[in-house]
């Protein structure tokens, strides 16, 4: 993989905005900004609990579109996956299963949980990162991807 558009300033700003949105959601709504939990609350809504979740998810998408619309990001003409669609679907399914088993996702544990000093989130985040590193190594070196 070759990184052709390394932009540390915008990455820094984006990371700050992620932290700010997580902090504001906690302060104003008393909720953790774990994306898997937010998505599951939209897909399996509890009475009166889905509106803020939908707004949060729309903000994720619209923020990126706004950034590109303001001309701050070069126009994306093509996104090409390095693997077949069925592998992407399997990977997405496994991520979903993992978030249920781990009772959260990288944003819930890695951003919010670690910020709270949660030992459970530390273990979960280390597990995520270790699994990701092992998977990349296996795909690249054992399976020739």
DSSP state of 104: S
Q: How many domains is the chain partitioned into structurally? A: 1
Q: What are the start-end ranges of the H helices in the chain?
A: 8-29, 35-43, 51-69, 85-101, 114-115, 119-137
On whether the CB atoms of residues 67 and 13 are closer than 8 A, the answer is: no
Per-residue pLDDT of the chain (145 residues; tens, 9 = 90+): 455 677 788 788 888 888 898 889 889 988 888 888 888 889 888 877 888 899 999 988 898 888 878 877 666 667 777 788 898 899 888 888 888 888 888 888 888 888 888 999 999 999 889 988 998 899 888 877 6
Number of residues written out for the chain:
145
The reply to whether 101 falls in a domain is yes
- For residues 35 and 39, give the distance between their C-alpha atoms in angstroms, rounded to a whole number: 6
Residues of the domain holding 71: 8-142
Q: Is residue 3 part of a domain?
A: no
Cα-Cα-Cα-Cα torsion 42, 48, 52, 55, nearest 10 degrees, comes to 60
Q: Is 2 contained in some domain?
A: no
pLDDT digits (tens, 9 = 90+) for 48-79: 788 889 999 998 889 888 887 887 766 666 77
User: Is residue 79, in this structure, part of any structural domain at all?
Assistant: yes
Contact assessment for residue 143 and residue 134, using Cβ atoms and an 8 Å cutoff: no
The SS3 assignment for 4 reads coil
Separation of alpha carbons 105 and 124, rounded Å: 9
- Residues 6 or more apart in contact with residue 39 via CB below 8 angstroms: 53, 57
CA distance from start to end of the chain: 11
């Amino acid at each position: 993989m070759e990184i052709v558009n390394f932009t540390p300033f915008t990455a820094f700003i984006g990371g700050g905005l992620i932290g700010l949105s997580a902090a504001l959601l906690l302060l104003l709504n008393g909720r953790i900004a774990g994306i898997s939990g937010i998505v599951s609350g939209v897909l399996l809504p509890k009475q009166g609990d889905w509106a803020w979740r939908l707004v949060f998810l729309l903000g994720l998408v619209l923020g990126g579109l706004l950034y590109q619309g303001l001309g701050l990001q070069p126009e994306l003409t093509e996104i090409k996956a390095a693997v077949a669609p069925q592998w992407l679907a399997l990977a997405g399914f496994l991520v979903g299963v993992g978030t249920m088993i781990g009772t959260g996702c990288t944003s819930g544990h890695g951003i919010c949980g670690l910020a709270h000093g949660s030992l459970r989130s530390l273990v979960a985040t280390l597990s995520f990162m270790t699994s990701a590193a092992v998977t990349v190594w296996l795909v690249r070196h054992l399976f020739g991807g």
